[in-house]
Structure 1
Amino acid sequence: MASPRPQRGATQNAESTRFNLPQTDSDGDWLDAREAIDGAPPPLRTTVTVERPRTIISRNASPDVPFDRSINPYRGCEHGCIYCFARPSHAFHDLSPGLDFESRLFAKPDAAALLRAELARPGYVARPMALGTNTDPYQPIEREWRITRSVIEVLAETEHPLTITTKSDRVTRDLDILAPMAAKGLAAVCLSVTSLDPKIAGTVEPRAPHPERRLAAVRRLADAGVATYVSISPVIPAITDHEIEHLVERAAEAGARHVFFLPVRLPWEVAPLFRAWLDTHFPDRAGKVMATIRFIRGGRDNDPDFFTRMQGSGPWAELMRTRFQIAVRRHGLNAERIALRSDLFRPPAGAQGELF
């Protein structure tokens, strides 16, 4: 059983071999063996590397997601959520989807300038831009880097619609921009709250803000007129599924207009990391959890198929959906569709001059 690191989600730095990348070998330094010698893991510090991409808008044509474009100001995420489906993306950098993903981060300080140039291209058609689709735009390093804020400033200037998904109450820092955008029908925010139990939240998403702080952020956003969702995702069988009704209730009390949930997904390298996490933190029910997940996912750790990968299938998945729907009706949520405007968009002022 791996030793958990304080305030980290993954219990190991498992290698990825999907891209034929070389394995990382120990350099023989005595520090590599300190865990075995001292009986405790050494401190793991977060590092940030500047990334200089040539474009910043990512496109997708997935039928399972309600947006076709997104921006990710950062790669990797210090929140350390063990279930994060974005973990495997770190393997593209020859880094582990485990501890590397949450401690060796990449920042894109040119994001706003790149966005301005892309919005200025002839023929660009505005549709809602999604932030937080891969890694959290308000993870702790946003406090100093402020890349997410710079992106929102460009979107506000051009009156471009925006959606944000985050686990952080830091989003309320930008209410001075988001509230005026929301008043024009240009902004919506989704706060993710997986569990109300601080002990569970502290292991499943160790560096994310306390669940009560997130619900307080929902209240601040709603009071400021921002259309606000709560995502009860992912639901983990035998660990958080008993909280569905209470989470829906608390979301309604905080002023959310919509809620949704997704069963836990374990793509690629996430599955072995999740199993190691279960063995460390929930050894009494690890087998039950994985058996239920496989039941929901057609006998596999993960179902990659469109239309079913986000919902799950079988009696367990149907039971969760039924419980969720009853709770939603009880609290009067999801009564109306939140639609953002795209007709107000105007290209960045003077953008053509900046390109030449």
Structure 2
Amino acid sequence: MTDARKPLKPIKGRGAASRVASRFDATAVEGVDDGWGSVYDEIADAPRPATTVTEERARSILTRNTSPDVGFSQSLNPYRGCEHGCVYCFARPTHSYLDLSPGLDFETRLFAKTNALERLRAELAKPGYVPQVTALGINTDAYQPIERRYGITRAVLELFAETKHPVSFVTKGALIERDIDLLASMARDNLVSVHFSVTTLDNRLASKLEPRASAPHAKLRAMKALGDAGVPVGVMVAPVIPMITDMEMERILVASYEHGAREAGYVLLRLPNELKDIWREWLELHYPDRAGHVMSLVQQMRGGKDYQAGFGTRMTGTGVFAQLVEQRFRKARARLGYGRFPALDTRRFIAPRVPSAQGSLF
């Protein structure tokens, strides 16, 4: 008998195909066929879910971490949830903290931190604040489609530029070209670097994996535009997915170098918490013929499990296949001439003034 919870087909323009339950849900809902097929008809004929945005007032805006696996210790996320809909996004499980599904809700029920600029100005103005490179939009993309409407990323970037505060980006959004004036100015003072996350160069595959992210050719175009403007540009081949995208690694590195990228990295597919269910659902819908093989390779790189969260290996995995990916990446990077960017400058920082009811005496 068909499982009533299983979607019958993908939803055009969305990465997830259903509202996978949150790990914090107190109850579980399961459709039961009454003999008339109504459950299956409802799933098959459901309208495409629209995107809704809730405006919220953040209590704080800078997030700090001590993870040895990431190249930053401070980040700022203007939005929660991401309309790009990347089915493999490691941030999907964070929607569970909002009592929402990491599946469809993550890419359709978004939150905009409309007071981000206000909170950032207050934090940077604190007497004890010590400047450090801040990753802008690292959990959910700072240049996702709703940024065109809200402009929160632009606003906080203007403040970072004003205070000469260093920032870094990893994005899938060609919308970043809009801010090339600020980025080029900051680059002259060694205050910014931008990495584009490129998973595939295949437009058809990209439309399934990351349906509302910029198309591969648009990412490359933006990469070249920023590089030509003097902005340090790199590429993250991420995620590397066995038997789906891993064969493209070298082509992505070549194309990115030709479009101005001079630093490169990669991350293997990660499936924390509910993401493993969302990913398995996607595989069964799009690649049922190789789903088992893909998951077998994933587990070979994760100690026999869907995922292992240990520091030091969660980004690169372990085992023979993971070692092969690492060797391929290292050789291609060296052959093409990729290097390392110098550390961004934290010494130029000028604390902002916070408006006072008493005004300024000087």
Which TM-score bucket, shorter chain as reference?
Answer: over 0.9
Choose the corresponding residue for 2:351, options 339, 347, 351. Answer: 347
Q: How many residues align?
A: 347
Paired position in structure 2 for 1:331:
336
Paired position in structure 2 for 1:119:
124
Partner amino acid, structure 2, of 1:45: A
Q: Does 1:182 align with 2:224?
A: no
What is the deviation of 1:338?
2.8
Q: Does 1:158 align with 2:163?
A: yes
Q: Give the 5 Å matches for 1:141-156.
A: 141-156=146-161
The TM-score normalised by the length of structure 1 is: 0.94
**Runs (5+) with no aligned partner, structure 2:** 1-5, 32-37
Partner amino acid, structure 1, of 2:177: T
Partner amino acid, structure 2, of 1:202: S
Name segments (4+ residues, structure 1) moved above 2 Å. Answer: 19-26, 37-41, 352-356
CA contact (8 A) 1:34 1:41 kept: no
Deviations 1:140-165 (A, max 9, x none): 00001000000101101100000011
CA contact (8 A) 1:35 1:41 kept: no
Q: Does 1:261 align with 2:266?
A: yes
Partner amino acid, structure 2, of 1:151: V
What is the deviation of 1:20?
4.9
Work out the CA distance in 2 between the residues paired with 1:22 and 1:82: 24
Work out the CA distance in 1 between the residues paired with 2:14 and 2:358: 43
Q: Does 1:7 align with 2:47?
A: no
What is the deviation of 1:207?
0.7
Q: Give the 5 Å matches for 1:300-319.
A: 300-319=305-324
The TM-score normalised by the length of structure 2 is: 0.92
Paired position in structure 1 for 2:298:
293
CA contact (8 A) 1:21 1:94 kept: no
Paired position in structure 2 for 1:30:
none
CA contact (8 A) 2:232 2:341 kept: no
Percent identity between the aligned chains? 48
Choose the corresponding residue for 2:235, options 220, 227, 230. Answer: 230
What is the deviation of 1:352?
6.2
Paired position in structure 2 for 1:217:
222
Work out the CA distance in 2 between the residues paired with 1:262 and 1:355: 51
Work out the CA distance in 2 between the residues paired with 1:262 and 1:77: 19
CA contact (8 A) 1:188 1:226 kept: yes
Deviations 1:89-134 (A, max 9, x none): 1011110000000000000010011000000001111010101210
Paired position in structure 1 for 2:3:
none
Work out the CA distance in 1 between the residues paired with 2:296 and 2:29: 32
Partner amino acid, structure 2, of 1:60: N
SS of the equivalent of 1:8 reads coil
CA contact (8 A) 1:4 1:280 kept: yes
CA contact (8 A) 2:25 2:99 kept: no
CA 1:38/1:78 → structure 2, altered by over 3 Å: closer, same or farther?
Answer: closer
Paired position in structure 1 for 2:252:
247
Work out the CA distance in 1 between the residues paired with 2:282 and 2:165: 40
